[in-house]
């Protein structure tokens, strides 16, 4: 059989399948990045994004990748030479450590094994040893391991010790609960191209009033002009009336797409979305286990949007290749310490539905069987249906 002629289905953990309504919202002539009409579109996008963050604080639609938005958060709230605790239990936690070091912070890293979470007590012990810590940073949904970190619990510690709390919610935004205000988050990074099923290019960001009060008073500036929130604040205040509340040109098509995706998410209802992602993820893990495979995350902390699956050393690329070439399904290999030892499947937004998951489970079972594993496809699908039918 030849290679599939269609582009593959994206069962990777982002970018994910894009909603058809989102794609059609982009098929119109370009809006300029300022003016009354555009200003209203931008403000509506900000309003919807704030509802998904559950915040009454400031929201910006950051025109760039998630990592740059994380750099913005760390580099504005923690001065070079100051200390930040970074929770690290996977590739993206390690990247946060790297970003914080890159901007000159002294990083106190607190680690857990891949698949597990950091116990809050470990953070408190570090805070007793390091009295001069200014911030706490964590990845909500660790996309490399499929672990959902308990950010509400960590937020209590950040509040108690008066720390700036920075959260990477890139692969959880719009799929699971995030209460930016109630959980004391000062800087929270969301994403367009993952659980919202929009296109990459912009990252919604929520910023607390405390963060802005600090930025107004601080006696230093981050070295990057573009990432400096005081620059952004200036344009938010001074250029809002001309529909340009940001310092540079922004990708208007990506913002229009995000607005459409947020509207669809809010119409579905956040509680319904949380439930759908939880049920689909749990059903998918049951199917994976029925195929006699092991999930990287412990069940208690398993992610609602991505499942990382252990596999024999160096089989992940064969599994991914067969899935792609035979079935037109794209999945991802392992990341960081799990490279070559795992593969990852995203179930977020549009793909957190039986329509995509049943085909993925069936194709995976066939792929494993062709690679010599003894698998029971029917049992895997039965386990999946048992969970979704409850």
Ligand X SMILES: Cc1ncc(COP(=O)(O)O)c(C=O)c1O
Binding site for ligand X (CB under 6 A): 14, 65-67, 92, 139, 143, 168, 170-171
Three-class SS of residue 6? coil
Report the residue number, 63 or 243, with the smaller CB distance to ligand X: 63
Q: Go through the chain and tell me how many residues it has.
A: 390
Rg of the chain over CA atoms, in angstroms?
A: 21
Q: Return the sign of the alpha-carbon dihedral for residues 125, 127, 129, 135.
A: positive
How far lies 169's CA from each of 73, 165, 367, in Å? 13, 12, 32
- Burial class, 131, CB count within 10 angstroms (exposed 0-12 / middle 13-18 / buried 19+): exposed
Q: Which two tokens stand for residue 65?
A: 């990748």
**In the bound complex, what is the minimum distance in angstroms from residue 146's beta carbon to ligand X?**
11
Is 45 within 8 Å of 190 (Cβ atoms)? no
Q: Which two tokens stand for residue 232?
A: 């952004």
Is 62 within 8 Å of 201 (Cβ atoms)? no
Question: Whole-angstrom distance between the N-terminal and C-terminal Cα of the chain?
Answer: 39
**In the bound complex, what is the minimum distance in angstroms from residue 43's beta carbon to ligand X?**
24
**In the bound complex, what is the minimum distance in angstroms from residue 154's beta carbon to ligand X?**
15
Report the residue number, 198 or 367, with the smaller CB distance to ligand X: 198
Report the residue number, 201 or 243, with the smaller CB distance to ligand X: 201
Report the residue number, 103 or 368, with the smaller CB distance to ligand X: 103
**In the bound complex, what is the minimum distance in angstroms from residue 14's beta carbon to ligand X?**
5
**In the bound complex, what is the minimum distance in angstroms from residue 284's beta carbon to ligand X?**
18
Report the residue number, 109 or 376, with the smaller CB distance to ligand X: 109
CA neighbor of 274 nearest in space, from 374, 378, 141: 141
Report the residue number, 87 or 375, with the smaller CB distance to ligand X: 87
29 CB-near residues (< 8 Å, 6+ apart): none
Report the residue number, 98 or 160, with the smaller CB distance to ligand X: 98
**In the bound complex, what is the minimum distance in angstroms from residue 351's beta carbon to ligand X?**
15
Three-class SS of residue 155? helix
Is 150 within 8 Å of 22 (Cβ atoms)? no
**In the bound complex, what is the minimum distance in angstroms from residue 171's beta carbon to ligand X?**
4
């Amino acid at each position: 059989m030849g290679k599939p002629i269609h582009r593959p289905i994206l069962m990777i953990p982002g970018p994910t399948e894009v909603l058809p309504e989102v794609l059609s919202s982009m098929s119109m002539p370009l809006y300029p990045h300022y003016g009354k009409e555009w200003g209203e579109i931008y403000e509506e996008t900000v309003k919807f994004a704030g509802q998904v963050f559950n915040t009454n604080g400031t929201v910006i639609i950051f025109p760039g990748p998630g990592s740059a938005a994380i750099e913005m958060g760390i580099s504005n709230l923690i001065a070079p030479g100051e200390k930040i605790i970074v929770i690290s239990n996977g590739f993206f936690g390690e990247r946060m450590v790297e970003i914080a070091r890159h901007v000159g912070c002294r990083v106190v890293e607190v680690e857990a094994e891949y698949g597990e979470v950091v116990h809050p007590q470990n953070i408190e012990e570090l805070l007793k040893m390091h009295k001069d810590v200014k911030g706490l940073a964590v990845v909500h949904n660790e996309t490399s391991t499929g672990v959902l970190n308990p950010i509400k619990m960590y937020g209590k510690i950040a509040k108690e010790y008066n720390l700036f709390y920075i959260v990477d919610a890139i692969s959880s935004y719009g799929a699971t609960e995030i209460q930016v205000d109630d959980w004391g988050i000062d800087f929270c990074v969301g994403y367009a191209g993952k659980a919202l099923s929009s296109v990459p290019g912009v990252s919604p960001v929520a910023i607390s009033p405390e963060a802005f009060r600090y930025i107004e008073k601080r006696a230093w500036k981050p070295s990057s002009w573009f990432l400096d929130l005081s620059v952004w604040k200036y344009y938010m205040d001074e250029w809002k009336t001309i529909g340009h509340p940001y310092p540079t040109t922004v990708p208007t098509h990506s913002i229009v797409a995000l607005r459409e995706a947020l509207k669809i998410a809010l119409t579905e209802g956040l509680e319904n979305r949380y439930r759908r992602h939880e049920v689909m993820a749990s059903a998918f893990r049951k199917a994976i286990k029925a195929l006699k495979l092991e999930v990287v995350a412990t069940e208690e902390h398993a992610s609602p949007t991505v499942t990382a699956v252990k596999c024999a050393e160096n089989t992940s690329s064969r599994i991914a290749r067969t899935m792609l070439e035979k079935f037109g399904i794209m999945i991802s290999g392992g990341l960081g310490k799990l490279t070559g030892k795992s593969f990852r499947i995203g179930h977020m937004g549009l793909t957190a539905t039986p329509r995509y998951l049943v085909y993925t489970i069936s194709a995976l079972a066939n792929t494993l069987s062709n690679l010599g594993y003894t698998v029971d496809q029917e049992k895997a699908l039965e386990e999946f249906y048992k969970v979704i039918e409850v």
